[in-house]
Amino acid sequence: MHIPDGYLGPETLAVGWAACLPVWYQANKKAKDVLSEPKAVPLLAASAAFSFLVMMLNIPVVGGTTAHAVGAVLIAVLVGPWVACLAVTAALVIQALLFGDGGLLTLGVNCFNMAVVMPFVGYGVYQVVAGNAALRSPRRLVAAGLGAYVAIAAAAALVGVELGIQPLLHTVHGQAQYAPYGLRTALTAMLASHLLAAGPAEAILTVAVLAFLARTSPELLRGVGHANLRTRWLYGLILVLVAAVPLGLLAGGGAWGEWGGAEIKARIGYLPHGLARLGELWRGVLPGYARPGATGVWAIAFYVLSAVFGVLLLAAVAWLFARIHRRGQEKRARAA
């Protein structure tokens, strides 16, 4: 679901950035209540790290490709969709900058799909289905699972449309200039993989973690502040996910629509102009979460190290973000 550079034309890129900027601005304002609390840093850091790690756990899907969960709806259920938007955005930025997972130019579109559409659609479904059910009611678990499934399906459908309209917008002399597959092919491929594999995985993960946290940290579900939050359960969950990330290497093949130039040329017989010009714009510090050429144990080691480094960096970003907010509040308080 991480669209690389070279797959989208300038119009689609511009729409993605234009759609995200006002949401990020509003999310920054809406998140102030959470960020002002004593446990804001571990909560925000754990949310971003959770999404980052879950996206490293690739699973095999139809057609020999792979997909992954995102975790956006679980975060939205626990801390609200605005904070979930910031957390998933932070994870996507780190993935693009450090590991070349998703493009820099396409970051706006990728964030819109996974950090905006997913948490808000999923949270909306959760609210409607859960209704006034008790906090520990099984109905809330069903609502969260259904919200997660619908949300990732909605994001996948958007990716299919974004990729599938490129040949309609940018074809010269019969050759696509960016993503080469038409709307029917792209939409079918994205929906099939996410409705049949990634969607159930997202729903199961959301329900399992929510049920675990309901038993160990019920204060997360009450929405009345997190001053008494037992952060050891959050740290434990992140450690478990770090230990599990090598499982993501077991899924053979790459994600549909995320091929490199050589692979897509072999598939369609030519290299689209946009991919030739922008596909290598930025490959990341550790492309693909590994040192180029690393195999076997070394590939696993680099994958785990990438996970650890990503988590630590997201923790630092969360600390800096919360500190900036608190300083702003202090200045406003002194001025008042």
Host H or E run for residue 287? none
Stretch 227-252: mean pLDDT: 87
Host H or E run for residue 2? none
Instruction: Please give the share of the chain, as a percent, with pLDDT higher than 70.
Output: 97
Overall fold of domain 10-256+270-335? Arp2/3 complex 21 kDa subunit ARPC3 (1.10.1760)
Host H or E run for residue 55? none
Stretch 219-227: mean pLDDT: 62
Q: What is the pLDDT of residue 175?
A: 97
Stretch 156-174: mean pLDDT: 97
Q: What is the pLDDT of residue 225?
A: 54
How many angstroms separate the CA atoms of 74 and 208, rounded? 10
Confidence category of residue 310, pLDDT binned at 50, 70, 90: very high
Residue 131 phi/psi, 5-degree rounding, is 55, -130
116 DSSP β-pair partners: none
Residue among 134, 92, 147 at smallest CA distance from 115 = 92
Q: Is the dihedral of CA 262, 266, 267, 272 positive or negative?
A: positive
State the maximum Cα–Cα separation within the chain, in Å, rounded to a whole number. Answer: 66
Host H or E run for residue 67? strand 66-67
Stretch 180-196: mean pLDDT: 96
Q: What is the DSSP letter of 178?
A: S
Q: How far is C-alpha 123 from the chain's CA centre?
A: 15
In this predicted model, what pLDDT tens digit does every residue of 276-293 receive, in sequence order? 999 988 999 999 998 877
Instruction: Examine the pLDDT at 234 and tell me if it is beyond 80.
Output: yes
Alpha-helical segments (H) within 165-290: 166-169, 183-193, 199-216, 219-222, 231-244, 261-268, 273-278
Query: What's the length of the chain?
Result: 336
Stretch 300-323: mean pLDDT: 93
14-28, 87-101, 132-146: range with lowest mean pLDDT: 132-146
Instruction: Please give the share of the chain, as a percent, with pLDDT higher than 90.
Output: 74
Instruction: Examine the pLDDT at 223 and tell me if it is beyond 80.
Output: no
Domain residue spans of the chain: 10-256+270-335
Q: What is the pLDDT of residue 228?
A: 63
Instruction: Examine the pLDDT at 224 and tell me if it is beyond 60.
Output: no
Stretch 223-233: mean pLDDT: 66
Helix and strand counts by DSSP (H, E) for the chain = 16, 4
Using left for φ > 0, alpha for ψ between -120 and 50, and beta otherwise, residue 225 falls in left
Confidence category of residue 220, pLDDT binned at 50, 70, 90: confident
Stretch 230-237: mean pLDDT: 84
Stretch 164-177: mean pLDDT: 97
